[in-house]
Homo-oligomer: A and B are copies of this chain.
Amino acid sequence: MRPDTATRATRASTPSPALQDRYDDVRAATMALAAPLSGEDCALQSMPDASPVKWHLAHTTWFFETFLLVPSLLAYAPFDDAFRVLFNSYYNSVGDRYPRPQRGLLSRPDLATVCAYRTHVDAAMRALLARGLATDVAELVELGVHHEQQHQELILTDVKHLLSHNPTGPVYRAGWPLSAVRPQPLAWHRYEGGVVPIGHDGNGFAFDNEGPAHRVMLAPYALASRPVTHGEFADFIADGGYKRPELWLSLGLDAVRERGWRAPLYWSREDDGRWQTFTLHGFVEIDPHAPVCHVSYFEADAFARWAGARLPTEFEWEHAARNVEVDGNFVERGALHPLACAGDATAAAAAPGQLYGDVWEWTSSSYAPYPRYAPAAGAVGEYNGKFMCGQYVLRGGSCATPRSHVRATYRNFFPPDARWQFSGIRLARDV
């Protein structure tokens, strides 16, 4: 997911106590994620693609202030006028923005002030939510809640990236090892294809890039019964995977060479040849049974070629996941790392395992608008389509995603060289 993306809901939701509860729950969940972190942890930025935790805390709040409170709550007084610019992500129609690569240069406002900002806005939001809201306003609240859930995942991936630079090996949450499950042999689930429905049907919340619903022609295909594991990826490395040009896309080979990639992000080889990785639980030995994560699209694609398979299209993935319950290793489980498949991963299972949670699964589909897609009017929808170039779609959510945030139609997207998300590999093949 593009970190700052916030798009408009496609249909109305009714204002209700449920919405108030959901607002409160999501806002509290954000604070809980920041709880183990100091002001210094929250202020630093490790790369232009990542933002300081403090910035996430403030920007999600800015969203409610800018798009809900200022337009809809007559008596509302902004917390600090400077925040309008400081915490705007990319909304040109809202005005100027503080440069993204410099978000880590803001020691002020400090963390305590940002928390006060959250409290100030929450109080006003509660006043607003206590009213009967017009449908479009209620939709914006729901959008803001989903927007904040996106940033919850980014808080985890961004602080992981930051802490990984610290040779003292900071631990965000102590809890390793996570499980001792051994993975089942990889099996294949077959789909007949044909003309199948794709996209969100308008029943409940969805981002607008999930629609319009339409039909797509699929050839018969098969999906792997579980994601590729750390151990399987270590085999790829041991087989010279990073050194064999024939396995790589041309741009992927460029990335391997220019950046010196020899393994997924966060992996390092110990003197005895074993692989270690940095997790939110600190530096640990890799669990060979857990799904591999922190691979780029290029690495996912090369692995698939090495394995004699390919990545699925986003349509193949969605078709397979359409009737599968959204359940799995999400952020609420607390593992904060992918887990070995504990369920049935044989071909006899009703569906492939771990479609949801654990790792975002790279698809071979470049991120593009669905037929007849049109961005919504106004600031929140101003740029819905502007990121539809140079990115690939990922599906299914990860161990850092809130469970209520994901759907079968959900389209996450990142550039093919991005590795700091919990991104993994689901194999597919023609049948």
A interface residue numbers (CB < 8 A to B):
38-41, 43-44, 46, 82, 85-86, 90, 92-93, 98, 102, 104-111, 162-163, 165-168, 170, 195, 214-217, 219, 245-246, 248-253, 298, 301, 364, 366, 368, 371-372, 382-383, 385-390, 416, 430
| Among A41, A195, A215, A216, residue most surrounded by chain B Cβ atoms (within 10 Å) | A41
Residues from chain B with a CB closer than 8 A to the CB of A105 are: 44, 46, 162, 165-166
Cβ 8 A contact of A82, one of B41, B168, B245, B383: B168
Residues from chain B with a CB closer than 8 A to the CB of A216 are: 217
Beta-carbon contact of B217 and A108 below 8 Å: no
> How many angstroms between the C-alpha atoms of A167 and B106 in the bound complex?
9
Q: Which residue of B is nearest A316, CB measured? A: B371
Beta-carbon contact of B383 and A246 below 8 Å: yes
Residues from chain B with a CB closer than 8 A to the CB of A85 are: 167
Beta-carbon contact of A364 and B368 below 8 Å: yes
Beta-carbon contact of B162 and A390 below 8 Å: no
Beta-carbon contact of B107 and A248 below 8 Å: no
Beta-carbon contact of A366 and B364 below 8 Å: no
Query: How far is the CB of A330 from the nearest CB of chain B, in Å?
Result: 27
Beta-carbon contact of B371 and A219 below 8 Å: yes
Residues from chain B with a CB closer than 8 A to the CB of A368 are: 364, 366
Residues from chain B with a CB closer than 8 A to the CB of A41 are: 107-108
> How many angstroms between the C-alpha atoms of A110 and B162 in the bound complex?
14
Q: Which residue of B is nearest A297, CB measured? A: B389
* Nearest 4 Cβ contacts at the A-B interface: A366-B366, A40-B107, A41-B107, A105-B165
Query: How far is the CB of A191 from the nearest CB of chain B, in Å?
Result: 13
> How many angstroms between the C-alpha atoms of A235 and B144 in the bound complex?
39
> How many angstroms between the C-alpha atoms of A219 and B246 in the bound complex?
37
> How many angstroms between the C-alpha atoms of A40 and B108 in the bound complex?
8
> How many angstroms between the C-alpha atoms of A382 and B246 in the bound complex?
7
> How many angstroms between the C-alpha atoms of A215 and B383 in the bound complex?
32
Query: How far is the CB of A243 from the nearest CB of chain B, in Å?
Result: 12
> How many angstroms between the C-alpha atoms of A214 and B86 in the bound complex?
51
Q: Which residue of B is nearest A247, CB measured? A: B386
Q: Which residue of B is nearest A371, CB measured? A: B219
Residues from chain B with a CB closer than 8 A to the CB of A168 are: 82, 86, 108-109
> How many angstroms between the C-alpha atoms of A390 and B366 in the bound complex?
9
> How many angstroms between the C-alpha atoms of A200 and B105 in the bound complex?
41
Residues from chain B with a CB closer than 8 A to the CB of A253 are: 386
Beta-carbon contact of A383 and B250 below 8 Å: yes
Beta-carbon contact of A43 and B166 below 8 Å: no
> How many angstroms between the C-alpha atoms of A170 and B46 in the bound complex?
23
Beta-carbon contact of B167 and A86 below 8 Å: yes
Beta-carbon contact of B162 and A107 below 8 Å: yes
> How many angstroms between the C-alpha atoms of A216 and B216 in the bound complex?
7
17 sampled A-B residue pairs with Cβ under 8 A: A38-B39, A40-B40, A40-B107, A86-B168, A102-B165, A106-B166, A107-B162, A107-B163, A108-B170, A195-B217, A246-B383, A250-B383, A252-B389, A298-B389, A301-B389, A366-B368, A390-B416
Beta-carbon contact of A251 and B390 below 8 Å: yes
Beta-carbon contact of B104 and A104 below 8 Å: yes
Beta-carbon contact of B40 and A388 below 8 Å: no
Query: How far is the CB of A363 from the nearest CB of chain B, in Å?
Result: 11
Query: How far is the CB of A125 from the nearest CB of chain B, in Å?
Result: 24
Cβ 8 A contact of A43, one of B40, B215, B416: B40
> How many angstroms between the C-alpha atoms of A396 and B163 in the bound complex?
42
Residues from chain B with a CB closer than 8 A to the CB of A249 are: 385-389
Given A105-B44, A105-B46: A386 in contact with B215 (beta carbons within 8 A): no
> How many angstroms between the C-alpha atoms of A388 and B166 in the bound complex?
32
Query: How far is the CB of A94 from the nearest CB of chain B, in Å?
Result: 12
7 extra interface residue pairs, beta carbon distance < 8 Å, beyond A38-B107, A43-B44: A40-B43, A214-B219, A246-B382, A249-B389, A252-B389, A301-B389, A366-B368
